[in-house]
Amino acid sequence: MKLTLFDLDHTLLSGDSDALWCDFLIDEGMLERSTFAARNADMEMRYKAGTVGLEEFANFYLGTLAGRSPEDWEPLRQRFLATVVVPRVPRSALDLVNRHLNAGDLVVLTTATNRFLTELTAVHLGIAHLLATDPQLESGVFTGRATGILNMREGKVTRLQAWLTASGQQLRDMDSTAYSDSINDLPLLQAVNHAVAVDPDALLREQAVARGWRVLHLAR
């Protein structure tokens, strides 16, 4: 079986879901621009450099959900998808996903961004399987923290292997391909048979050239 793994942010999506969500909440008047925008930019910069701490990254963005239930957030989540996410998914990204789906591949969207923000994006992309960082709920309310293994760096490989094992499959038995833009996904790209760097950051581009990986540019 062919397994195809897609990162989301800056790979299929022109932008970062977490950073865009924060900008969206600022525009909606739910976050204070003067105090939050700089922290958001710093977090995004350190993520791109591969230097941000895993829990620091996850909990910073999950903190934007804290104190409200999924039902409370649903109208804003739907508007975020329609007005921010969908316009930033290029036709070339949809065509790439559809080529793998039409070929009968097992296609998985795997992202460090939390499940609540990305599950609607997966539906828009036509991808039925999503691996994402899971937000913690207590009494039906987001705590602002993650639960379980974070779907980031080595955690993407751990989560993928656990997901495959649960369905009686093993990564080593599959013809696997992964697409990503980020040096943070180096463990995942090393774990598959075919690694594709999509509009890669500078650090990943160096690795792709050194390892002979394909470099793909999606029209934006």
Point out the residues that are catalytic: 7, 9
Q: Is 135 helix (H, G, I), strand (E, B) or coil?
A: strand
Q: Which long-range contacts (CB under 8 A, 24 or more apart) does 77-84 make?
A: 77/116, 77/117, 77/120, 78/120, 80/20, 80/21, 80/24, 80/117, 81/120, 81/121, 81/124, 83/24, 84/20, 84/21, 84/24
Q: How far apart are CA 43 and CA 184, in angstroms?
A: 14
CB 184 within 8 A of CB 174: no
In the numeric block, the tokens 């609607």 are attached to: 120
**Which residues on neighbouring strands pair with residue 194, listed in sequence order?**
177
Nearest alpha-carbon partner for 92 in 15, 12, 16, 17:
12
Q: How far apart are CA 190 and CA 200, in angstroms?
A: 15
**Which residues on neighbouring strands pair with residue 137, listed in sequence order?**
142
